[in-house]
Structure 1
Amino acid sequence: MAGIAAAIAGVSVGFSANLLLSSMDAALGELTLQAAATVDEEYAEGMNILMNYWFILVSTFVLAITGTLVSRYVVEPRLGDWHGEGAAAEEDRAAMTITSLEKKGLIAAGIALVVSVAAMLLLIIPENAPLRGEGGAIVQSPFMDPLAVVIIAVFFVPGLVHGIVTKVVRNDTDAVNHLSKTLAGMAMFLVLAFTAGQFIAYFTQSNLGQIVAVLGGDALEAINLNGFLLVLVFMLFVAVVNLFVGSASAKWALLAPIMVPIMMHLGLSPELTQASYRVSDSATNILSPLLPYFAIIIVAAQRYDKRLGIGSLISVMLPYAIAFMAVWSVMTLGWMGLDLPLGPNAPIYYEGR
């Protein structure tokens, strides 16, 4: 149970702390770029989806240490001796055994991944590589602009090779069918993304975002809510909203057109607003029964303790949520105080107001 809790903490509570870029960087980054463009189009053109990379890179190590301490000195002692029923049955273990054919598929997929990454590097690293930008730039280049497509391609090729070697994919029809099944689980997200896209378009065309930004910024300035206190209140607000709206990208699609302009009006960069959002969006994930993976976690845990339910799981994960939120918030405010860049060309403060 302690192992399951630690794994959940790493995957869900520390959702936005990564050593490498993920699809979340692309999804949130594009929304932030669009929201910033409603206030300062020239500034938005200089932004990129690497805007939080230094921040999430350091966060990975900070949260790993925090999670280790919470697991060792809080969660494990609270769990006590295990008295669960029905640990994983022998047939379940047999079902998880990797066959020789699957091993070949994994080896082939690994080779395909190395080849794909090597081919991508050849298009980027050389001085005159075709995917470099003007003057040999990498951050602002044909490689960074469609980065989401690049990530898809790098993962698609090894997956396809694995399917072919294991004979799960025998022809193009099999490949399409597997893609269709995967996308079926994304149906709700696609509907929300479409709605969010319309929402952002309305804000842009009507200039409502600028109006809300100015009025909201003036209201916050009138009550002296700015700087560190503003960021802290914003993070607490997102942490509460996250209990009711689980999707990180859908939630940001609703908040970005409002909060990014307000923060810019008060001198805080869009990059900082997004980083603050990611902290709170991750920390309280596991406390919401609306989390899409909550049922899967319950099922996995009940293999070792049939009495475990929603309340029990939340009580186990609560120390992680509190510790991650506290440590990550302090780290964010410290980052602001030191005025460190959040990523390449990603400042803390916005000076274009």
Structure 2
Amino acid sequence: MDPNNKKPGIANRLFSKFLDFIENYGNKLPDPVMLFIIIAGIILLCSAVFAALGTSAVNPATDEEIFVVNLLNGEGLIMILTELVPNFTSFPPLGIVLVVMLGVGLAESTGLISALMKTTIMNTPKKLILPVIVLVAMLGNAAADAAMVVLPPIVAMIFIALGRHPIAGLAAAYASVAGGFSANLILSMLDPLVAGFTQTGAQIIDANYVANPAMNYYFLAISCFILVPVAVLVTTKIVEPRLGSYTGTTEKIEEVTKSEKRGLLWAGISISVLSVIVMFLTIPQDALLRDAETGSLTVSPFMTGLVPLMMVFFLVPALVYGLVTKVLKSSKDIADHLAKAMSGMGMYIVIAFVAAQMIAFFNWSNLGPIVAIKGADLLQALGLTGLPLLLGFIIVAALINLMVASASAKWAILAPVFVPMFMIVGYSPAFTQLAYRIGDSITNPITPMLAYFAIALTFAKKYDPKIGIGTFMASLLPYSIAFAIVWIILFAAWYFLGLPLGPGEFIHLNN
């Protein structure tokens, strides 16, 4: 009997009600742009109220007493007016994301990413197909959200060809991209994006702090290998048995063309050439991209130049692929595709403008450091320190993700509070960011607030027109639970072993 035809049990009914609650109240939340505007207004109001009350806190690092500054008086309004443009143009995440998207967007626009995903999976031995699908899905995060759209329907068709349930393949692909959104062997657009907000939050305490986009790389690269077998196990032992056998019609997967294969070959050659050049510029002790005085690579032009290097590593192979496949036939085509790559960034630019003002108001008012200091005092008074403190933050981030799916929107709000708060109790911004990224990822597969959830559900309806949110969510929830358990165990092990998080980045500030 098809499990979908059984009468739902108590647990399923309760879960369905929970999802209805999340969807109902989540849909009532304002758009992220309006959310930032509302929060900015609240900050301005609070600055006036708490300044009038004489609210203050003592900075434990300098013993200096900090008072709330009223931004609604004459001086404050002048500062808001005259600094509005500089707030936006100097906002760290703005330039970082736009630069990386020049490369990532062109790789997506020319078809390089789609062809790479398709050829990788179709040329894999049958026994390794599912692990490779999961790995490709996680590596697909480097292409921002493109993998959430491109990969699930391809995998569904591959599962049909293998005699397996297409929705199981679709769920495995979508959950691996969304749930493992931070795990990767290469730096993705998300790395510099969240690092920009982390830097902004850390500078509330340390004005000279500079965030490294690779600050979590060691942990997240290992996570990729840990989560792949977890996703495979969940698919084969839980999701597929529950869905049963597929009785619908089959369909043929579109083959990779000779032109696409040739394009991928030359794109791969271009990446190899780029890699050799970068190795030549970084490996020798006196290499150009090392620190000129110390020879260090962790604090060097290489690390500060990671964002442009990421752009180049996407841009060059995308250009090569486009020229070889004739997608790009002239300089005008290149310009048009670059413009197309950036055209989708309009909403992000609007969000960045509003978020930049909100964070500036938070810093100018001194509410940021005061909330951080008092929050740290409260945590210490409650005895919430060490690992339980960070695990609690992971859970908070995971729950917030059910309501606000945008990783950048959430971190723009949370970073100015939690990064300085945890710095005061001794944790590095990199460790706080890592805890956030885990929490942000694990509930991605099951949040209806993520736009790609609706797209994945639409793909699923192609194979089962009667499938609803609850049924599809039930296929995705096991991944979220399994990823949460395994990732938290890995996070705890990393904490107790005191391992470095990335190049030059550690758990504690005093390392």
TM-score in same-fold range (> 0.5):
yes
Asked if the contact 1:124–1:132 (Cα under 8 Å) also holds between the matched residues in 2, the reply is yes
Q: How does 1:329-344 map to 2 (within 5 A)?
A: 329-344=488-503
Give how far 1:132 is off. Answer: 1.5
User: Does 1:243 find its partner at 2:434?
Assistant: no
What CA distance in whole angstroms lies between the structure 1 residues aligned with 2:362 and 2:300? Answer: 28
Q: Give the whole-Å Cα distance in 2 for the aligned partners of 1:186 and 1:317.
A: 29
Letter of the 2:262 partner, please give it: K
- Give the match's secondary structure for 2:289: coil
Letter in 2 for 1:35: G
For the residues of structure 1 that align with 2:489 and 2:189, how far apart are their CA atoms? 26
2:437 to 256, 278, 285: 278
Shift in Å, 1:326: 1.7
How far does residue 340 in structure 1 lie from its aligned partner after superposition? 2.1
Write the letter of the residue equivalent to 2:377.
Answer: D
The alignment status of 1:105 with 2:269, answered yes or no, reads no
What residue is the counterpart of 2:460 in the other structure?
Answer: 301
Change in Cα spacing, 1:174 to 1:313, as seen in structure 2 (3 Å) is same
Where does structure 1 differ by over 4 angstroms across 4 or more consecutive aligned residues? none
Q: How many pairs does the alignment contain?
A: 344
269-278 or 17-26: bigger deviation = 17-26
Q: Corresponding residue for 1:80?
A: 244
Structure 2 CA distance for partners of 1:114 and 1:258, relative to 1, 3 Å? same
Give the partner amino acid of 1:48: N
1:210 is matched with which residue? 369
1:220 aligned to 2:386? Answer: no
Matching of residues 252-263 of structure 1 within 5 Å: 252-263=411-422
Counterpart of 2:451 in 1: which secondary structure?
Answer: coil
Matches within 5 A, 1:259-270: 259-270=418-429
Deviation at 1:6, TM superposition (A): 1.8
Please tell me the residue identity of whatever aligns with 1:16.
S
Give the drift of 1:351.
Answer: 4.2
Q: For 2:339 and 2:249, how far apart are their aligned partners in 1?
A: 35
Deviations 1:4-56 (A, max 9, x none): 222222211011111222221111122212211211235x24x5222211211
Q: Max radius of gyration: which structure?
A: 2
Q: Which residue of 2 aligns with 1:129?
A: 287
* Contact kept? 1:105, 1:162, Cα under 8 Å: yes
1:48 and 1:140 in contact (8 A); partners too: no
Deviation at 1:220, TM superposition (A): 2.0
Alignment of 1:114 with 2:272, yes or no, is: yes
Aligned-pair CA distance for 1:86? 4.5
2:350 is aligned with 1:184 = no
Name the structure 1 match of 2:234.
70
TM-score normalised over the length of structure 1: 0.90
Of the candidates 214, 219, 223, which is equivalent to residue 55 of structure 1? 219
In the alignment, residue 239 of structure 2 is paired with which amino acid?
Answer: V
1:101 and 1:166 in contact (8 A); partners too: yes
Q: In terms of mean alpha carbon deviation, does 278-287 or 51-60 score higher?
A: 51-60
In structure 1, what residue type is equivalent to 2:236? R
2:299–2:504 contact (8 Å) kept in structure 1: no
Q: Take 1:280 and 1:341, find their aligned partners in 2: how far apart are those partners?
A: 20
Question: Quick check: 1:313 aligned with 2:472?
Answer: yes
Report if the CA contact (8 A) 1:25-1:50 is conserved: yes
Deviation at 1:329, TM superposition (A): 1.4
Query: Quick check: 1:147 aligned with 2:147?
Result: no
What amino acid is aligned across from residue 57 of structure 1 in structure 2? A
1:7 aligns with 2:186: no
Give the letter for the 1:3 counterpart.
Answer: G
Rounded to whole Å, the distance in 2 between the matches of 1:98 and 1:338 is: 46
1:157 — aligned with what? 316
Aligned to 2:507: 348
Instruction: Tell me which moved more, 312-321 or 51-60.
Output: 51-60
Report the alpha carbon displacement of residue 338 of structure 1 after superposing the two structures with TM.
Answer: 2.4
- Return closer, same or farther for 1:338/1:101 CA change in 2, 3 Å cut-off: closer
2:205, 2:420 within 8 Å by CA — same for their partners in 1? Answer: yes
Aligned CA-pair RMSD:
2.0
Letter in 2 for 1:81: S
Relative contact order (C-alpha < 8 Å, sep 6+): which is higher? 1
1:268–1:350 CA contact under 8 A, matched in 2: yes
Farther off after superposition, 26-35 or 120-129: 120-129
**Amino acid across the alignment from 1:336:** Y
1:331 is paired with a residue whose SS is helix
* Cα distance in 1 for residues equivalent to 2:358 and 2:297: 32
Q: Indicate how the Cα distance of structure 1 residues 133 and 205 shifts in structure 2: closer, same or farther if over 3 A, else same.
A: farther
Per-residue CA distance 1:295-353 (angstroms, 9 max, x = gap)? 3322333333333333222110001101111221122122222222222322222349x
Deviation at 1:152, TM superposition (A): 0.9
1:11-30 matched pairs, under 5 angstroms: 11-30=177-196
Q: What does residue 171 of structure 1 align with?
A: 330
1:35-54 to 2 correspondence within 5 Å?
A: 35-42=201-208, 44-45=209-210, 48-54=212-218
Measured in 1, the distance between the counterparts of 2:274 and 2:504 equals 28
